Structure 1
Amino acid sequence: MFGILVRLAGLAATDVSGALRRAKWMLAAYAAIALLVGVAIAFGLVSLFVQLSSIYDPISAGLIIAGASLGLALLIVIAIQTAAYFRRRRLRRLSAQRALQTAALFTQIAMVARRKPLLTALVVGGLAFVATRGGGKD
């Protein structure tokens, strides 16, 4: 319940219409930039084709440009896959650390449960409260 109130208070404190106006402006600006970059790339490829056509025949020039484009795309795919691999590896390592911490926590809870039964009842009640709230998400 309090989580929703905090979020609503945060929304009331921010200027939503101003943020929306800035987001629309940035969207239009980035769309214009993307269009101009696309035009620049197209003209660059045409000029590269003309230059290569003066050295090689037009079919070879087209194949050179296509091969270079495919090679660049392959490098980008390799970079993305490598980054995803390292991200998955980092997440697995964090998951293993969390599992170890959880096991240590349960060990500590078992030790406390043996020594202090009243504290155990308090912890169980707190866990039941959190579980009925859906893990703390409103």
Structure 2
Amino acid sequence: MGPLVAFLSSLAATDMSLAVARIKRNAILRAIAGSFFLTAVIFGLIALTIYLSHKLGPIGATLAVGGVFLVFGIITLITMSIMEARDRRIAEERKRKSQVQTNLVMATTMTLFRRKPLMAAGIAMAVGGLLGFTRLGFGGRDDDA
């Protein structure tokens, strides 16, 4: 059994080293491509500024390009705040649903426990397990908007 374990562990180590090498290679190539794209964008902005400087003058062209990027930045911040507010609403709704489910389980358990204690314990465990699965994401999800 020793040679089989050694073979499997060397095979796993080889697969891991190949995966790590591939990830490193892809990261380096993506960084190089990103620097080329960034350089292209910078030269494009310089060309746009030079073109606009013939029509608006150097100061006007620089202010126009800067103003456009200022507007883009403001739009990005507004979008981020809208998304954060949506995420907060979704979290509050989940918390409210969780509290309602917990209250329902407690009310059901207390009602059954008064009448049939052994059956109540089994049902409480089943309902608690079901609610646990739905909280872990095994049940239906309605927030995929």
* Structure-1-length-normalised TM-score: 0.69
Are the counterparts in 1 of residues 109 and 121 from structure 2 also a CA contact under 8 Å?
no
Aligned position for 2:132: none
Match of 2:133 in 1: none
SS in 2 for 1:61: helix
Compared CA separation, residues 31 and 111, structure 1 to 2 (3 A): same
> Which residues in structure 2 correspond to 1:44-63 (within 5 Å)?
44-63=44-63
Give structure 1 stretches of 5+ with no counterpart.
1-11, 128-138
Q: Counterpart of 1:22 in structure 2: which amino acid? A: R
CA distance in 2, matches of 1:110, 1:52: 76
Corresponding residue for 2:84? 84
Structure 2's unaligned 5+ residue stretches are: 1-11, 129-145
Higher relative contact order, chain-length normalized (CA < 8 Å, sep 6+): 1
1:24-54 deviations in whole A, cap 9, x for unaligned? 2332232122211210110011000110011
Return the alpha-carbon distance in structure 2 between the equivalents of residues 18 and 120 of structure 1: 55
Distance 1:36 1:99, change over 3 A: same
Q: Report the CA distance between 1:108 and its aligned residue.
A: 1.5
Query: In the alignment, is the contact (CA less than 8 A) between 2:53 and 2:61 conserved in 1?
Result: yes
- RMSD, matched Cα: 2.4
Corresponding residue of 2:94: 94
* 1:84/1:18 CA distance change after superposition, 3 Å: farther
TM-score by length of 2: 0.66
The alignment of Structure 1 onto Structure 2 pairs a total of residues equal to 112
User: Deviation of residue 80 (structure 1)?
Assistant: 1.3
Moved more, 102-111 or 44-53: 102-111
Asked if 1:111 corresponds to 2:111, the answer is: yes
Structure 2 partner of 1:34: 34
Please report how far the alpha carbon of residue 119 of structure 1 lies from its aligned counterpart in structure 2 after TM superposition.
Answer: 5.5
Distance 2:85 2:59 in 1: 39
